[in-house]
Amino acid sequence: MTEAPEVLTERRDGVLIITINRPEAKNALTQGVAQAVAAAIDELESDADLRVAILTGAGGTFCAGMDLKGFLRGESPSIEGRGLAGITLAPPRKPLIAAVEGWALAGGFEVLLACDMVVAAETARFGVPETKRALVAGAGAAMLLPQRVPLPIALELLLTGDPISAQRAYDLGLVNRLTPEGGALDEALKLAAAVAANGPLAVAASKEIARSASDWTMEEGWKRQSEIMAPVFTSEDAREGATAFAEKRSPVWKGR
């Protein structure tokens, strides 16, 4: 019998759904998962028909982190230059939404931090327990979590290793939308549709500016923003957006 793929992909109305498919192992990360997620991100970036991606997990769990059995075999769930799960060091230019059911734990939480927005079931749980094992959350959480929540809260999560509820994550601004259990993917698809309806060049440029701004000085920021924005304002899509508004119709984006 053929084994099920470790990662599934589905295209739906301009949205690429990427599902880590190891429910028997709580979607723990392996080298195979990393390679397949990286390939899915390449597909997202190279296909103009794809506007947004959703990353989720099968079987009611987002991701429980690194597969320890694979680790003991000497296998790494990272890819050189791309990071854990093939994504933490090199997130896509296009928007990526996490749809979380169950646990987003350890490396799974760090994969979540590589996503731009998070939709979570009310029963989801989030945590970075590495310090409980005398380890450091080095795949992104120690650096990125203080950019997503206030520093004292980030330190509490990192230094205690204790998990938090989806409601607490929502209250902190780490989660965009909460849903009843089992509803995270459907709500993520609604959020993705709202993003995909907009001009793809403008969406990508807006993400790049927002994600990069904290690394820029104020003077550098205005210059870099202008450089990123300029091609958008002279694009066919920009003209189409204005024309569609004047003609009171829905725009037809071409991504150029």
Rounded to whole angstroms, the Cα distance separating 110 from 105 reads 8
Whether 110 is catalytic is yes
Q: One of 110, 181, 187, 236 is an active-site residue; which one? A: 110
Dist CA 237 CA 97 (whole Å): 24
Is residue 234 helix, strand or coil?
A: coil
- Say which of 24, 43, 80, 130 is annotated catalytic: 130
Euclidean distance between CA atoms 148 and 176, whole angstroms: 12
Is there a contact between 163 and 123 (Cβ–Cβ < 8 Å)?
Answer: no
d(CA 256, CA 24): 43
Residue 150 to residue 188: CA distance in whole angstroms = 25
- Cα separation, 125 vs 186, in Å, equals 19
Angle of helix 218-233 relative to helix 236-246, nearest 10 degrees, comes to: 70
- With residues binned 3-state (H G I as helix, E B as strand, rest as coil), the percentages for the chain, rounded to 5, are 45, 20, 35
Concerning whether 43 is annotated as a catalytic residue, the answer is no
Q: Which residues are catalytic?
A: 110, 130
